[in-house]
Structure 1
Amino acid sequence: MLQLILNDKLILSFEQLGKKARLIISEAEVELACRKETIKNLKKFLTEDETKIFKGRLQLHKQSDIIEISTKKQTNSGSFIH
Structure 2
Amino acid sequence: MSLQKPVMRGLLAKRLRFHLPIAFSLAIAAALAFKFGVTEPRKKAYAEFYKNYDNVKEFNAMREAGVFEGVRPSGE
On whether the aligned pair clears a TM of 0.5, the verdict is no
TM, length-normalised to structure 1: 0.19
- Structure with larger Rg: 2
Which one has the bigger helix percentage? 2
Which one has the bigger strand percentage? 1
